[in-house]
Amino acid sequence: MNELKQRFLNYIDQINSGSAHTHAAYERDISDFIAFLKKEGITSFAQADRIIVMNYIADLRMRDGTLGAMKNTSIARKLSSLRSFYRYLNEYVGIQGNPFLYMKGPKLARRIPEFLFYDEMERFLSAFDIEDPVGLSKRTMFELMYACGLRVSEVVSLCISDIDFNDDVLHITGKGDKQRIVPFYELAKELLIRYLHEVREAWVGQKKHTIVFVNQRGDGLTTRGVQYLMQKHADVLGMHVHIHPHMFRHSFATHLLDNGADLRLVQELLGHSSLSTTQIYVHVSQERLKHVYEHAHPRANAHATSV
């Protein structure tokens, strides 16, 4: 069984360009299932049937993790991993049947993404001193993240060749090497041009790389570094909220929908493969409408009285 697991992991490495995170997740999930099968006296993946899988799910539910019982999200991920593993066994090994194929995982509640209201975003971005090189660098990076709905991994890997100043668009390579084109507005363009000429050129010096956003040593930023800079700025402003890079992407999508953008357009700009992934932002917009209503309607906060 361990040999088949390793063959599958090699296969996953090839189709996912060697993603260490994906490899590690599959290895944990399959190894856990192998350990359960061995405990049940089963020595072959072909011997596992729906009853075995149901017993495995029951076993997962009874486990206690460091924070209590195993979460539904963790169970669902394990089942998804093993479903994919059995598809591989069916296609490339010749094992018949997939006991995970029609096995439904626990129902997951859809989390509404955290986002900033426009006035909060404006406060965050406008507080940088763009006459200072460090301030201009940070403002430009965060402005572009919001302007284009970038993932933090996309902003730290952005290269000069990805910027098209003629059409004012970025050429982004997202998850799974999926390509997309995202426009940016005039203010972001002005900041970007200033940053490239006034700051990046001086900081990079003789170094040969083309990464857009760099530190004062001329080296590319890390995702953790961007997270740190973002939270530090929020703390200085006294925003009293945990700000993370993906919040800017959530805000980008929410604000577009709030202002009448078509859902499929937002899907394209975010680089989502499925429209259902983008639809969660419709719920975010509904939350915003409720928030605005409760703060703007003169009777929204009136105490109820008998009629």
Q: Burial-class residue 304 by CB neighbours within 10 Å (0-12, 13-18, 19+).
A: exposed
102, part of any domain: no
In this predicted structure, the answer to whether residue 239 has a pLDDT above a threshold of 60 is yes
- Determine the Cα–Cα distance for residues 188 and 280; give it in Å rounded to an integer: 27
In this predicted structure, the answer to whether residue 107 has a pLDDT above a threshold of 60 is no
Statement to judge: residues 147 and 276 lie in one domain:
yes
Which CATH number belongs to the domain containing residue 72 in this structure?
1.10.150
Task: Name the amino acid, one letter, at 35.
Answer: A
Statement to judge: residues 205 and 77 lie in one domain:
no
Statement to judge: residues 187 and 130 lie in one domain:
yes
CB atoms closer than 10 angstroms to residue 271? 22
pLDDT range class, residue 1, cuts 50, 70, 90: confident
Statement to judge: residues 81 and 30 lie in one domain:
yes
Boundary (domain end) residue, out of 56, 78, 93? 93
256, part of any domain: yes
Under 8 Å between Cβ of 172 and 270? no
Q: Burial-class residue 144 by CB neighbours within 10 Å (0-12, 13-18, 19+).
A: buried
113, part of any domain: no
Statement to judge: residues 142 and 277 lie in one domain:
yes
Statement to judge: residues 12 and 141 lie in one domain:
no
Look up the pTM and report it.
Answer: 0.59
Statement to judge: residues 163 and 283 lie in one domain:
yes
285, part of any domain: yes
Q: Which domain holds residue 49?
A: 2-93
pLDDT in the model for residue 80: 83
For residue range 32-71, what is the model confidence (pLDDT) as tens digits?
Answer: 989 989 998 988 888 888 888 888 888 887 776 544 556 7
Which CATH number belongs to the domain containing residue 283 in this structure?
1.10.443.10
In this predicted structure, the answer to whether residue 248 has a pLDDT above a threshold of 70 is yes
Count structural domains, the chain: 2
pLDDT range class, residue 268, cuts 50, 70, 90: confident
Boundary (domain end) residue, out of 76, 93, 110? 93
Active site residue ranges: 151, 175, 246, 249, 272, 281
How far does Cα 234 stand from its chain's mean position? Answer: 21
101, part of any domain: no
Statement to judge: residues 225 and 284 lie in one domain:
yes
Boundary (domain end) residue, out of 93, 126, 154? 93
For residue range 126-174, what is the model confidence (pLDDT) as tens digits?
Answer: 999 999 999 999 999 999 999 998 989 999 999 999 999 999 999 988 8
Statement to judge: residues 85 and 127 lie in one domain:
no
Statement to judge: residues 128 and 264 lie in one domain:
yes
203, part of any domain: yes
306, part of any domain: no
Statement to judge: residues 137 and 282 lie in one domain:
yes
Residue 169 backbone zone (phi > 0: left; psi -120 to 50: alpha; other: beta): beta
Under 8 Å between Cβ of 272 and 264? no
307, part of any domain: no
Statement to judge: residues 272 and 152 lie in one domain:
yes
